[in-house]
Amino acid sequence: MRTYKVYNSETGDLYDEIQIEGSLPHVYFERGESIIEFAGSREDHYVDITHSPPLVRRREKLTGIEQDKTQIMANGLDYASFMGLPPDSMVEIKEKAAVLSLHEPYRVEDGGLQWGTTAAGDYEIIINVIGFYPWKGQVKAIESSVQAEG
């Protein structure tokens, strides 16, 4: 039995597993799927798409990110700052009580992000960079009687 992983050809993220006797059916290639033979963990590995042919590599710990606050006022005037983000970081902000993310991920290219909200709640900040484990932080937004004009 051979094990293959399907991966995102733009990010290198592994997301599906196929176990098959013999060679892969052509249907996967006809659908344009990117597939690599690999039996390890999807969480701990990624496909280095900059290498030709693509190679499976182990993720590294993302270091150097600094968060200035873990609590802000939910008034649109107070912000938490995240600095030291590598180029092409994707930042996802999730309200912990919500099932889905509130927004599409933000692409950060200049190394930093300031984030604020007018909705009180507990938020998880997830920073994804190709080849690294996600960095996770939290921000608690406290209800405020002062709101930004706009």
Question: Which range in 24-33, 112-121, 141-150 is most confidently predicted, on average pLDDT?
Answer: 112-121
Q: Give me the CATH code for the 66-143 domain, please.
A: 2.60.40.10
pLDDT value of position 97:
76
Task: Provide mean pLDDT across the span 33-38.
Answer: 89
The model's pLDDT over 101-134, given as tens digits with 9 standing for 90+, comes to 667 888 999 899 999 999 999 999 999 999 999 9
Between the CA atoms of 34, 41, 139 and 104, what dihedral angle is there, to the nearest 10 degrees? 10
Question: From CA 75, how far away is CA 67, in angstroms rounded?
Answer: 19
- Structural domain boundaries in the chain: 2-58, 66-143
Which H or E run contains 74?
Answer: strand 71-74
Nearest alpha-carbon partner for 94 in 130, 148, 42, 136: 136
86: tokens are: 């590598």
Side-chain half-sphere exposure of 78, counting CA atoms within 13 A: 20
Percent share of the chain, pLDDT over 70: 91
Taking only the tens place, the pLDDT of each residue in 47-92 is: 999 989 999 999 999 999 999 999 999 999 999 999 999 998 999 9
Q: Give burial (CB, 10 Å; 0-12/13-18/19+) of 60.
A: exposed
Q: Which of 115, 113, 122 is nearest to 142 (CA)?
A: 122
Single pTM value for the model: 0.80
Average pLDDT over residues 19-46: 83
